[in-house]
């Protein structure tokens, strides 16, 4: 470690973390004032039908693709005509789109050619907010940090969590209104994921919605994913998070030092691991690991909870099969996650010149693995746009990625969805989506912002 690094580390250990974040914010604001603000602004325009567009002009980074339902024909054309496709000048710079299932397997498994550093989103975060997370690190650093925290979702911990998850699901479902329409996204999907995250972090339960707010703001930057978050708001949310999470860290450390039995929450696990026990002294990395877990488990699970209801409304004969045989629930869960594909892609950067499916990719090029397309690839999934509970290879979906970065929370997400559907079928004959849902503005998160439903209790 250089002398400068040592000085910075010392300073970081003394100055409260939120002050450091606020300091960085002030510095970046001053810089922006001098250099000008480079944040893109996205205004929604009608996306033309895919056959009206030249192949080279196709731009899957348009954050309105999902909202306007154009993503399916666009991806189909790319899979058929240009499965490894170069877009020279998007709002996020040049990038390759990889859209076939088999090609994505090749990229995701080869971390020596395709690096997850420095970011896994198409764009670039606002200067200074490039928070370090192990999802965006290559081995060996990635492996050390992942190993330190993955105990939180180890099977033993999940077994212990199951009862708790079920009682939280029951509480939420038992409080739903029966004689009026309501927003499923707010009352069920967000509420349940917030409760789960608060449990994993041992975060003050009554403040759980803060976790949702922070992650929404930090994951929706214009320069990162084409979202709407204001940069100052992102900085303020980061400072707030830093304050809360470091208070949680210090509180836990004091309790451990006083001889309290260690719990299984994320912060305790970090404090017990050699590699992460001093993470508090590396603020951006500390924040990054917590944000990763919170963002990782927030938008994804939440949108699967909404996506499942939406899918079953579009395929009512599948809903009828499920109602008649709740034993199908484990298969339902795989199909929901395939069909929804809550995160549209992960990005890599080529570490050396390489050839992928006949295309020459240069060292330094951005390569985007479109899981949303892989999961609809007719070469792998028969009738891929149909929602079919029990399709033979549903669990081979790529929604969790594959390789060293394969989702750490996959089993937890599946567990939550299984319990949700068990409890739903025990209570309701129907969950009717009464109007078209509203979708998030993002090229990354395939999110629902509002979905009005009405419930029919079991007769």
Residues that bind ligand HEM (CB under 6 A): 108, 134-135, 146, 153, 292-293, 296-297, 300-301, 304, 337, 342-343, 346, 399-403, 405-409, 412-413
- Check residue 102 and report its DSSP letter: H
The least distance separating ligand HEM from the CB of residue 135, rounded to whole angstroms, comes to: 4
The least distance separating ligand HEM from the CB of residue 357, rounded to whole angstroms, comes to: 19
List, in order, residues 6 or more apart from 172 with CB less than 8 Å away. 187, 188, 191, 192, 195
Closer to ligand HEM by Cβ: residue 153 or 239: 153
Structure tokens at 80: 């058929």
Closer to ligand HEM by Cβ: residue 269 or 346: 346
Closer to ligand HEM by Cβ: residue 153 or 349: 153
Closer to ligand HEM by Cβ: residue 153 or 222: 153
Closer to ligand HEM by Cβ: residue 294 or 328: 294
The least distance separating ligand HEM from the CB of residue 131, rounded to whole angstroms, comes to: 14
Structure tokens at 30: 């001053």
Closer to ligand HEM by Cβ: residue 246 or 300: 300
Q: Is 406 helix (H, G, I), strand (E, B) or coil?
A: coil
- Check residue 343 and report its DSSP letter: B
CA distance 222 to 39: 7
Closer to ligand HEM by Cβ: residue 47 or 290: 290
Closer to ligand HEM by Cβ: residue 20 or 225: 225
The least distance separating ligand HEM from the CB of residue 230, rounded to whole angstroms, comes to: 26
Query: Which H or E element spans position 319?
Result: helix 316-324
CA distance 63 to 226: 5
The least distance separating ligand HEM from the CB of residue 7, rounded to whole angstroms, comes to: 31
The least distance separating ligand HEM from the CB of residue 143, rounded to whole angstroms, comes to: 8
The least distance separating ligand HEM from the CB of residue 302, rounded to whole angstroms, comes to: 9
Exposed e or buried b per residue across 214-236, where buried means at least 16 C-beta atoms within 10 angstroms of its C-beta: bbbbbbbbbbbbbbebebeebbb
CA distance 192 to 203: 14
Rounded to the nearest 10 degrees, the angle between the axes of helix 191-201 and helix 283-314 is: 150
Q: Residue 415 — left, alpha, or beta (φ > 0 → left; ψ -120 to 50 → alpha)?
A: alpha
List, in order, residues 6 or more apart from 374 with CB less than 8 Å away. 99, 100, 101, 104, 380, 398
Q: Give the burial class of 390: count Cβ atoms within 10 A of its Cβ; 0-12 exposed, 13-18 middle, 19 or more buried.
A: middle
The least distance separating ligand HEM from the CB of residue 305, rounded to whole angstroms, comes to: 9
């Amino acid at each position: 470690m250089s002398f400068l690094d040592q000085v910075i580390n010392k300073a970081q250990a003394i100055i409260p973390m939120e002050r450091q974040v606020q300091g960085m914010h002030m510095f970046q604001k001053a810089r922006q004032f001098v250099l000008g603000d480079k944040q893109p602004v996205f205004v929604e325009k009608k996306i033309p039908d895919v056959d009206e567009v030249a192949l080279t002009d196709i731009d899957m980074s348009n954050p309105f693709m999902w909202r306007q339902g154009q993503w399916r024909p666009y991806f189909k054309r790319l899979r058929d005509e240009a499965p490894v496709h170069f877009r020279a000048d998007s709002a996020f710079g040049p990038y390759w789109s990889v859209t076939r299932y088999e090609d994505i397997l090749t990229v995701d498994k080869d971390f020596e050619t395709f690096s997850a550093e420095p970011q896994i989103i198409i764009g670039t975060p606002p200067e200074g907010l490039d928070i370090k997370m192990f999802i965006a690190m290559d081995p060996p650093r990635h492996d050390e940090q992942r190993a330190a925290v993955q105990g939180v979702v180890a099977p033993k911990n999940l077994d212990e969590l199951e009862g708790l998850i079920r009682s939280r699901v029951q509480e939420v479902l038992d409080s739903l209104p029966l004689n009026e329409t309501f927003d499923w996204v707010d009352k069920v999907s967000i509420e349940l994921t917030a409760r789960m995250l608060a449990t994993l972090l041992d975060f003050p339960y009554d403040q759980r919605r803060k976790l949702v707010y922070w992650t929404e703001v930090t994951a929706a930057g214009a320069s990162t994913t084409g979202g709407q978050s204001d940069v100052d708001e992102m900085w303020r949310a980061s400072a707030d998070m830093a304050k809360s999470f470091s208070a949680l860290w210090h509180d836990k450390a004091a309790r451990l030092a006083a001889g309290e039995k260690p719990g299984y929450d994320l912060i305790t696990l970090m404090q017990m691991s050699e590699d992460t026990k001093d993470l508090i002294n590396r603020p951006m990395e500390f924040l990054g690991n917590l944000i990763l877990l919170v963002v990782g488990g927030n938008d994804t699970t939440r949108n699967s909870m909404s996506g499942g209801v939406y899918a079953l409304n579009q395929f009512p004969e599948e809903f009828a099969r499920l109602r008649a045989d709740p034993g199908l629930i484990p298969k339902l869960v795989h199909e929901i996650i395939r069909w929804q594909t809550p995160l549209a892609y992960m990005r890599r950067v080529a570490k050396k010149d390489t050839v992928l499916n006949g295309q020459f990719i240069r060292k330094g090029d951005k390569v985007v693995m479109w899981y949303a397309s892989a999961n609809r690839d007719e070469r792998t999934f028969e009738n891929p746009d149909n929602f079919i509970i029990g399709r033979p290879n549903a669990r081979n979906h790529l929604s969790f990625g594959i390789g060293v970065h394969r989702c750490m929370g996959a089993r937890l997400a599946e567990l939550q969805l299984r319990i949700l559907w068990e409890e739903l079928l025990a209570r309701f004959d129907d969950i009717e989506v009464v109007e078209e849902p509203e979708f998030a503005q993002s090229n990354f998160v395939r999110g629902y912002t509002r979905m009005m439903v009405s419930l029919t209790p079991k007769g």
